[in-house]
Chain A
Amino acid sequence: MRIEDHPILGKAERGKRITLNVDGEAVAAFEGENIAAALIASGRRVFRYTAKRMEPRGVFCASGRCTDCVMIVDGQPDVRTCVTPARDSMVIQTQVSRREGEATHDLEKEKD
């Protein structure tokens, strides 16, 4: 779901239509909107899993402070998706953080 007509901000100005690669799936987005907006609009709620309890996390503060929405973007971990503009063909992965060993693993490696 996207807000098309905001009571204060007015009508949404959209960038051109682009496609993100999210965990191997194509997700439609508008260029320049933040990655998190595109993911929420596509129905995704889980952006990462926590290190200690492996609990799902997603958007919390939505303003770039809390770092709950971080994902692996084009290979770089800990990218705050709520303040990072979407670009065409970005490769985005669910992030699984872990305490011991490497700081970050991608989900596919974790499953093996």
Chain B
Amino acid sequence: MKNDDLVICRCEEVTQADIKEVISQGVTRMNEVKRLTRAGMGLCQGKTCGRLVTGILARETNQPLQELKPPTSRPPTRVLPLGILSRTTQDDD
């Protein structure tokens, strides 16, 4: 299998082989790939690997790329020290 040792998600160190493995177990959605492999759950939150993972899933499962929904996004969109959020709460009170 060519390039299967390539690191796809750099933050969580998930390889193409890791992603293909969960797909071979029946995974068909981005959220499932994310939760099983942790691809996209690291510091950068999938900014780097998101498109690559989508491409692999589409190719391996013969789904059209545009029909694959991205995994659920939740705020904050970038890494924040918790202190910033706690200060905001205090200001609101």
- A: residues with CB less than 8 A from B are 50-53, 55, 57, 60-61, 65-68, 70, 76, 78
Contact = CB atoms under 8 A, between A and B. Distances in A.
Instruction: Classify the interface of chain A: helix, strand, loop or mixed.
Output: loop
Contacts of B48: 60-61, 65-66
A53 B12 CA distance: 10
B45 to A, nearest CB: 9
Interface in B6-64: 10-13, 42-44, 47-48
B11 A67 contact: yes
Q: Which of B13, B42, B79 is most buried by chain A, counting CB atoms within 10 A of its CB?
A: B13
Contacts of B81: 76
A66 B46 CA distance: 8
A61 B81 CA distance: 22
